[in-house]
Structure 1
Amino acid sequence: MNGEKLILQVNDLSIVFGGLKAVSELNLELYRGELVGLIGPNGAGKTTVFNMLSGVYAPTGGQITFWDKDGNARVVNKKSPAQLNLIGIARTFQNIRLFGNLSVGDNVRIAMHSQRTVKPWDAVLRTRRFFEDEAMMDAKVRRLLKLFGLEKKENELSANLPYGEQRKLEICRALAAKPSLLLLDEPAAGMNPQETRELMELIAFIRKEFNLTILLIEHDMKLVMGICERLYVLNYGRVLASGVPEEIKTNPEVIKAYLGSEAENLA
C-alpha cells in the first residue's frame, strides 16, 4: 500500500475444532498506523481469528508474520500470549477480563511487569533502586489513567466501576504493555450511544498518541464505518470481502450475508 510498511501478514490461516473448520485459508494484511475493522455475522470466526493472532489458539494451518518495533519479521504461530505481549501485540476481550478484586491502578500496574528494572532481591531488601522503580511505575500508571479519565479512581476496586469505565480500563491495561499492534474485540459491546461516541474519540486519540496499529472487531456499524480505514468481512470462516468502508457497505454479497436493511442507514 503506497510503500507503507507491513506490521502483520496472515497467509492461508486455518483452524479446525473436532473436524469443523472454524477459519479457512484466511489472508489478511495490516500496515503500520492503520485502523482496520474485522466484521461479519455471529459465528463467522472473528474472535477465533483474534485468538490465533494473540496466541490463545494455535493455528492448524497457515502462517502469521509480525514485524516488531525494530522491524524484525517474526513467525508467531506458536507464540504464547505472554510472548506476543513482550514483542508488541496486546488485546482486549469481548467479555471484560479485569481483576475485579484489585484496584484500578493495580490492574494497570500488573500489565507493566515486563518494564520493571529491579531484581527480586531489590524488592526483598527494599533497596533505593526498588523505591525508584516503584515511583517510576506509579507515575506511568497515573499518566495512563489520566488519559482515560480514570485518575481519580486509581484506588477503587475495578469491579465497582461503571460498565463503560471498565471497558476503558481494559483498553488502558492493554496499552500499559506498550504494544505496537492493538487488537480490540468488540470494545463497544454493551455501551450506550453516548459511551460509544466517546469510545470512537478515544480509539482515534490513542491510535495517534501511542503510534498504534489497531485491528478491531465490532458490530456497531456506525462506529466501524466512522473510524476504520479498511474492512475485512468474514462469513463462515472465510473472507467474503475486503476494502474501504464505502466499498463494503455497498457490496451486494456483504449486504446479503451481514448488513441487510442496516445498509440503508449507512448510505
Structure 2
Amino acid sequence: MSDEKLILQVNDLSIVFGGLKAVSELNMELRKGELVGLIGPNGAGKTTVFNMLSGVYTPTGGQITFWDKNGKVQVVNKKTPAQLNLIGIARTFQNIRLFGNLTVSDNIRIAMHSQRNVKPWDAVFRTKKFFEDEEVMSLKVRNLLKLFGLEKKENELSSNLPYGEQRKLEICRALAANPTLLLLDEPAAGMNPQETKELMELIAFIRKEFNLTILLIEHDMKLVMGICERLYVLNYGRVLASGVPEEIKSNPDVIKAYLGSEAENLA
C-alpha cells in the first residue's frame, strides 16, 4: 500500500432501497496516488457504491470522508455531484454519457466551467478578459485532447466517434474538471482486446501525469490484475475480501463467489 496520506475514507456505508440493503456497512480507504479496483459479481453493489461516492445517491447510513484539493477534510455524504466535482471528485459511467449533439471540444469545455475566470458581463460585452479566458480554455482543451489522441477530432460530434474513442473522451472530460480522485465505472466495457490494452496503458499514464488517485470498477480481470495495486471484492453489497491482486485471485471465497474457473487463467 502507498505510504501517502488518506484521500478517501468510507466507514460503515449503507443504502436501502425499498427495505432492501443494496450496500451494507462498507468500509474502504484510498491513499493518495493509489490505483484500486472494486470488483464482484453483477448486482454486487459496485455502481451503487460509485453513485454514493459521487453524490448521485445519498447514503442512508455511514460516513464518507474526503481530503479535498486543498487538503481540507470534509464529510461529503450529502454533497451533490456538482459540489463533489468542485472539491476534486470526478467519475465516468458504465453507460457512456457524452453530449452526443455537441462537438468533442465542447464536451470538454462543459467540464471546465468551474475553472472560468470571467464574470457574466465579460461574456455579454465580450471584454478583453473574456477573449483571454477563451484562449486559455481552448489551449487546455487542445492539450487534453492531444494526450488522448483526439486532437484531430475536436470539431466532430461526439456521437460520431467510434466506441473506443467515446470511452476515451468520457475519461478526458472527467479529467477536465481537474480532479484528485477519479472514479472509473467499467471503462473497458465493450472494448476489444487491443483497445483494452491501450486503455490499461492510458490509465497508468494519466494517474502519473495528473497525480491522481483512481478507483476502478471492471469485469475484465486481466485489466484489473494487471493495473490495480489493491482490490476490494463486493458480494451482496458487502466487502467479501480486500488485498493485493495476488491475494485476491487465490482467495477461495472470491473464487467461489466470483472468479470461478477464470481464476486458473489468472494464475
Structure 2 length-normalised TM: 0.99
Aligned residue in 2 for 1:82:
82
Aligned residue in 2 for 1:174:
174
Aligned residue in 1 for 2:31:
31
Q: What displacement does 1:69 show?
A: 1.9
The aligned amino acid for 1:157 is L
Match runs of 1:219-238 below 5 Å? 219-238=219-238
User: CA offsets per residue over residues 31-69 of structure 1, 9 Å max, x none?
Assistant: 000000000000000000000000000000000000012
Match runs of 1:140-151 below 5 Å? 140-151=140-151
Aligned residue in 2 for 1:196:
196
Aligned residue in 2 for 1:64:
64
User: CA offsets per residue over residues 175-232 of structure 1, 9 Å max, x none?
Assistant: 0000000000000000000000000000000000000000000000000000000000
Match runs of 1:38-49 below 5 Å? 38-49=38-49
The aligned amino acid for 2:97 is R
Distance 1:174 1:70 in 2: 19
| Alignment length (residue pairs) | 267
1:91 pairs with 2:97: no
Distance 1:49 1:259 in 2: 20
Aligned residue in 2 for 1:21:
21
The aligned amino acid for 2:104 is V
Residue 191 of structure 1 aligns to a residue in which SS? coil
> Aligned pair in 2 of structure 1 residues 68, 162: CA closer, same or farther (>3 Å)?
same
Residue 30 of structure 2 aligns to a residue in which SS? strand
Distance 2:205 2:2 in 1: 24
Are 2:8 and 2:64, in contact at CA under 8 Å, matched by a contact in 1?
yes
Match runs of 1:132-147 below 5 Å? 132-147=132-147
Q: What displacement does 1:4 show?
A: 2.2
Residue 77 of structure 2 aligns to a residue in which SS? coil
User: CA offsets per residue over residues 221-251 of structure 1, 9 Å max, x none?
Assistant: 0000000000000000000000000000000
The aligned amino acid for 1:15 is I
Q: What displacement does 1:3 show?
A: 4.3
Q: What displacement does 1:71 show?
A: 1.4
> Aligned pair in 2 of structure 1 residues 119, 193: CA closer, same or farther (>3 Å)?
same
Kindly report structure 1 stretches of 4+ aligned residues shifted beyond 6 Å. Answer: none
The aligned amino acid for 2:108 is V
Are 2:2 and 2:32, in contact at CA under 8 Å, matched by a contact in 1?
no
Residue 155 of structure 1 aligns to a residue in which SS? coil
Q: CA RMSD in A?
A: 0.7
Distance 2:90 2:79 in 1: 13
Aligned residue in 1 for 2:123:
123
User: CA offsets per residue over residues 78-122 of structure 1, 9 Å max, x none?
Assistant: 000000000000000000000000000000000000000010001
The aligned amino acid for 2:26 is L
Distance 2:250 2:80 in 1: 39
Residue 173 of structure 1 aligns to a residue in which SS? helix
Distance 2:6 2:178 in 1: 19
- Stretches of structure 1 that go unaligned for 5 or more consecutive residues are none
Distance 2:4 2:176 in 1: 26
The aligned amino acid for 2:46 is K
The aligned amino acid for 2:81 is P
Are 2:180 and 2:212, in contact at CA under 8 Å, matched by a contact in 1?
yes
Residue 138 of structure 1 aligns to a residue in which SS? helix
Aligned residue in 1 for 2:159:
159
Q: What displacement does 1:2 show?
A: 6.5
Distance 1:69 1:82 in 2: 15
Aligned residue in 2 for 1:246:
246
> Aligned pair in 2 of structure 1 residues 2, 51: CA closer, same or farther (>3 Å)?
closer
Structure 1 length-normalised TM: 0.99
Distance 2:191 2:242 in 1: 27
The aligned amino acid for 2:236 is Y
